[in-house]
Each structure stands twice: as structure tokens, then as C-alpha cells.
Amino acid sequence: MPRRVWIVPAVVLFLVISVELARFLSAPGAERADVVKLLRDQGRGDVPGMLAQLHGCAADPACAAQVRANAAKLRVSGRVKILLLESGSAYTLTSSTGTSRVAWTDIDHPSRTAVQCITVHKSWSLVHGARVQLRRIGPRIGDEDSC
């Protein structure tokens, strides 16, 4: 009888750990999705859309000016595709802010690529899982440059 008593809590514990592990491992996917949405807005020249996604950027004149400059210079006619995303805060069990380097292209004009740096804040809790906030986006940098 005592053996059966331990089976149910062990199964429940295994399921809880599995769910939390899956949520933890999905954090880079959430960052990637947010970055794609930001780059699509940038490609369309949608300054208000970009500012809405960048936490605190609208209130910072330098950040807002950079967004407007990016939207004007980095317009694309096609769809945005991420070629490489190097996350500066990929996996964290606490809160951290890092710089992610993203290389992207216009699918309709694949010879046109761009590399930019994006400041990302991630936080983690057992209750809410991973939360991603994009904070800033930099200008286009050289293809081999680091952030």
C-alpha cells in the first residue's frame, strides 16, 4: 500500500516539472516572435507600431529618433526573414537585460541583408513563465560587427 501512495505525488511532480521546463525552454521562441514583429513594422515604416513594441522607447527622445531613422532607412518591400538571432539573454532563471544581435533579410530581395542590435529584457517566474520586453533597437551595423 505505501508504494501506491508515492506514485501519485511522483507523477504530479514529474508533470509540474515537465510543464515548467517546457515554458522555460520556449523563452527564445517568444523573443524571436517579438523581434520578427518589430522588424516587420520597421520594414513597413510603421513608427507607431515599433514604438508600441519597445518598452519605454516612446518617452525617450533618443530612442524614438532612432526608431524613426530606422523606419525611414530600412524599409523593405517584401517580407522579413530572420537569418540569425544571437540572444544576449537566452535562458535566465531571474531577470536579465542583454543585447541580441539579429541578421535579417527581405525575402523578396534576399541580397539585401541587415544586422541590428536589440536590447531585450527577460524575466522568469514559476507563475508567469518567461516574459520578454524589447527595449531598444539600434541602427544597421556591419555584417560582421558585434553589438
What is the pLDDT at residue 145? 92
Running along the chain, 147 residues long, what does each successive block of 10 average in pLDDT? 74 79 72 94 95 96 97 88 86 80 91 93 76 94 91
Q: What is the pLDDT of residue 93?
A: 67
133, three cell numbers: 520586453
pTM listed for this prediction: 0.81
Give the model's pLDDT for residue 10. 79
Across-strand partners of 69? none
Q: Which fold has domain 2-137?
A: Nuclear Transport Factor 2; Chain: A, (3.10.450)
> What is the structure's pLDDT at 92?
66
State the Cα–Cα distance between residues 122 and 134, nearest whole angstrom. 9
For the chain, give the DSSP string. -HHHHHHHHHHHHHHHHHHHHHHHHTHHHHHHHHHHHHHHHHHHT-HHHHHHHBTTTTT-HHHHHHHHHHHHHS--SS-EEEEEEE-SSSS-SS-EEEEEEEEEEETTEEEEEEEEEEEEEEEEETTTEEEEEEEEE---B-TT---
φ, ψ of residue 128 in degrees (nearest 5): -100, -10
Strand partners, 103: 84, 115
Domain ranges of the chain: 2-137
